[in-house]
Amino acid sequence: REEKQLELTLEALISQVADLKNSLVSFIYKLENEYDRLAWPSVLDSFALLSGQLNTLNKVLKHEKTPLLRNQVIIPLVLSPDRDEEIMRQTEGRVPVFSHEVVPDHLRTKPDPEVEEQEKQLITDAARISPDVAQKQIQSLNKMCSNLLEKISKEERESESGGLRQNKQTFNPADTNALVAAVAFGKGLSNRRPPGSGGSVQSGQPGAGAIIAGASGMQQVPMSGAPAQQQPMLAGVQMAQAGQPGK
């Protein structure tokens, strides 16, 4: 019965490890060949998939029906420095020979002595902490994590709002182009004069004058028989005759 249970456990572990290996191969392929168009959400999805598969593998190892694999001893029956095609096929080309050099690494059921010593030290330190102290440390760590998440969220919101402000358009390109065309080329301007700008100024009206349509069109034309007087011509508008009141 124990052998049957061990066999089922090994089959489940092999299946989980195969799925994990395929996910790692796919993720490495993305990093090596699609790095130029790889988006961060896709990387997070790959990490989430790997994390879920590792958790499932740990659940299988920690299941109550799973035998303690560390108590199982594996003894190599044949060691040879020659190339073994069967080993190559089972390991997908990673292990070409099954010799004295690779056996301690591939058949090890326990971690390295240094790692095992560090694990024991951590377990001893954790056992010394009382439940109340551990709960306080957990609450302190959760508070620090919450504050850090709030700061990160605030910075993300500020950066997004700053980007929106920078990208917001504060003018109308059509209006700007129309204004430039009107100033530079007179496009869209009307040729009609405003009321009261045409014809001669009537006499007898104090303060009567003509509306100047353009100062650059001012010309002075001398009058015959009156050399000391000049009659101004403002943009084609004839001013009042000399000698008339209300000039």
DSSP state of 69: G
Q: Please indicate, yes or no, whether the overall pTM of this predicted structure exceeds 0.85.
A: no
Query: Is the CB of residue 60 less than 8 Å from the CB of residue 34?
Result: no
**pLDDT digits (tens), the chain, 247 positions:** 778 888 888 888 999 999 999 999 999 998 888 888 888 888 999 999 999 999 999 988 888 888 887 777 778 888 888 998 988 888 888 889 989 888 888 887 777 888 889 999 999 988 888 889 889 999 999 999 999 999 998 888 888 777 666 666 677 788 888 888 888 888 877 766 666 555 444 444 444 344 434 434 444 444 444 444 444 444 444 444 444 455 4
The owner of tokens 């377990």 is: 123
How far is Cα 125 from Cα 119, in angstroms, rounded to an integer? 10
- pLDDT of 78: 86
| Per-residue confidence (pLDDT) for residue 26, from 0 to 100 | 92
Task: Give me the pLDDT at residue 188, please.
Answer: 78
What does the pLDDT read at residue 224? 44
- Three-point CA angle 238, 239, 245, nearest 5°: 150
Q: Which fold has domain 1-72?
A: Methane Monooxygenase Hydroxylase; Chain G, domain 1 (1.20.58)
